[in-house]
């Protein structure tokens, strides 16, 4: 088991792929803790420039000589075994660990480490909790998978008491973490390029739950039957929450929505009224996310006022129902949703705003996900009045010819396939009307379409 005490502070901790959103955050935190840090990335980026400006050397391009003087090498799951820096580190006997191993070891330096897991909603719930802790002046250290305006980026280097991070199940990464409190938002089929099936995913979460230490707790969504299964043999404490399941420790009741689609509701704590909560983000799914945050906040000793203030102040992160601009009276939003359940929740929240039409260009993310969840995708756009599907964003996968975006468009009533971004931009510019909501949706580069549409209208 890796221990932070084994790191030689006189030698560099070298990050392969330091420009990544999580890797760069870890690099900054280590430097602030007195470690020597450097790294490489395959291309120049704003993140690399920020690292260099903060005093962290970054080399563009992966070359064996970059690691010659390193004391530790850190890499992500995306780095292949034939990477020249990783190969050279192993030749020289330099310890080389995955990012998740480092993050897990760093968590041990904090009194109250919190991990936010689940198939979807991690970034939003992590950001909500970050608002609650910051508004309560608890000086948390934060790692979030998106840009959170409150902290001006994707990380905050705070004190050594409270640590909040997303915990992803892909490749079993979160099994290398050591949280005191773990949130499980939901469990569904995803990442089927790694997992065999839903049972394999549940087993992975069950193992994660089993790592909860004595004195810790799992905060579990008991509206989700898979979460119930994963926590049924939890040796530690389980704190439950739900909207439909009224037997939970934390339940939302009397839910109403404003004209903007923002929910407010009463929170019942073990059957007794606890607080009236007003959110500044739309959708029923965010009621569920907030219940998880309330439950863990209570374990952390946050006051009722701090919880109410923190949740009310949260108005989203970048790429989550993010308003980008307008054209011809139509509002253009960007959303990171790339799983059927996320899509359904986002479009339902948009519909609840009373928009004249909810319209969307969707960029599927990875061939494996599009193929294995095609039927689920076909049912997830019911609240969309006009849908354009564009080419699949490959991400980490090669195109094996397994599926094409046209195949997805064919199984969704009324969907149309348009390949080129420029043609999609033209389509929405010509058809945008007052009262429309237009989404660019997906985890790839589909957001560029909305940005170009907005530019053209100025």
- The active-site residue, picked from 36, 47, 119, 123, is 123
Write down the residue that tokens 């995955």 correspond to.
98
- Rounded to the nearest 10 degrees, how much is the dihedral formed by the CA atoms of 385, 389, 395, 401? 140
Question: 217-231: string of b/e by CB count within 10 Å (b at 16+)?
Answer: bbbbbbbbebbbbbb
C-alpha 254 chain-centroid distance: 29
The string of DSSP codes covering 38-106 is EEEESS--HHHHHHHHTT--EEES--GGGGTTEEEEEE-TTS-TT-HHHHHHHHTT--EEEHHHHHHHH
Cα–Cα dist 30/22, whole Å: 12
Is 123 a catalytic site residue?
yes
CA atoms within 13 A on the CB side of 98: 17
Cβ(123)–Cβ(145) under 8 Å?
yes
Determine the Cα–Cα distance for residues 163 and 183; give it in Å rounded to an integer: 13
Q: Which of 31, 36, 122, 212 is catalytic?
A: 122
189 is catalytic: no
CA nearest to 224, candidates 258, 183, 267, 265: 183
Phi and psi dihedrals of 437, rounded to 5? -115, 125
H or E element that contains 368: helix 367-372
Q: How big is the chain, counted in residues?
A: 458
Q: Which residues are catalytic?
A: 122-123, 166
């Amino acid at each position: 088991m890796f221990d932070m005490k084994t790191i030689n502070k006189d030698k560099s901790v070298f990050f392969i792929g330091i420009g990544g959103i999580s890797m760069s955050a870890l690099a900054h935190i280590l430097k602030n803790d007195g470690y020597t840090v450097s790294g490489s990335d395959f291309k120049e980026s704003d993140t690399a420039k920020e690292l260099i400006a903060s005093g962290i050397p970054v080399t563009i391009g992966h070359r064996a000589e970059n690691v010659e003087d390193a004391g530790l090498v850190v890499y992500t799951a995306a780095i292949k075994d034939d990477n020249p820096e990783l190969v050279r580190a192993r030749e020289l006997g330099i310890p080389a660990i995955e990012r998740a191993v480092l993050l897990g070891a760093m968590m041990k330096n904090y009194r109250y480490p919190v991990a936010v897991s689940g198939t979807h909603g991690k970034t939003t719930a992590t950001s909500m909790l970050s608002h609650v802790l910051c508004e309560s002046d608890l000086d948390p250290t934060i790692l979030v998978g998106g840009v959170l305006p409150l902290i001006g980026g994707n990380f905050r280097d705070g004190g050594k008491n409270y640590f909040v991070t997303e915990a992803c199940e892909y490749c079993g990464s979160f099994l290398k973490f050591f949280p005191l409190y773990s949130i499980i938002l939901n469990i569904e089929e995803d990442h089927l390029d790694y997992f065999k099936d839903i049972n394999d995913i549940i087993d992975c979460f069950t193992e994660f739950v089993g790592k909860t230490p004595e004195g810790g707790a799992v905060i579990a969504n008991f509206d989700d039957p898979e979460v119930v299964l994963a926590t049924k043999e939890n040796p530690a404490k389980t704190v439950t929450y739900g909207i439909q399941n009224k037997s939970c420790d934390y339940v939302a009741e009397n839910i109403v929505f404003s004209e903007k689609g923002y929910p407010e509701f009463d929170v019942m704590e073990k059957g007794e009224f606890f607080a009236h909560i007003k959110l500044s983000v739309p959708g029923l799914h965010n009621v569920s996310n907030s219940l998880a945050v309330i439950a863990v906040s209570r374990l952390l000793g946050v006051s009722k006022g701090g919880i109410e203030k923190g949740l009310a102040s949260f108005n989203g992160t970048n790429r989550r129902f993010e308003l980008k601009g307008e054209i011809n009276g139509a509002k253009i939003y960007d959303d990171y949703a790339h799983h059927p359940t996320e899509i359904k929740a986002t479009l339902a929240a948009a519909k609840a705003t009373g928009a004249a039409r909810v319209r969307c260009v969707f960029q599927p993310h990875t061939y494996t996900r599009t193929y294995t969840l095609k039927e689920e995708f076909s049912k997830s756009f019911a609240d969309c009045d006009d849908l354009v599907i564009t080419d699949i964003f490959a991400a980490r996968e090669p195109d094996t010819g397994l599926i094409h975006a046209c195949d997805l468009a064919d199984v969704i009533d009324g969907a149309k396939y348009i390949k080129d971004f420029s043609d999609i931009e033209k389509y929405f510019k010509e058809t945008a009307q007052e009262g429309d909501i237009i989404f660019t949706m997906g985890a790839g580069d589909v957001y560029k379409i909305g940005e170009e549409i907005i530019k053209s209208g100025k």
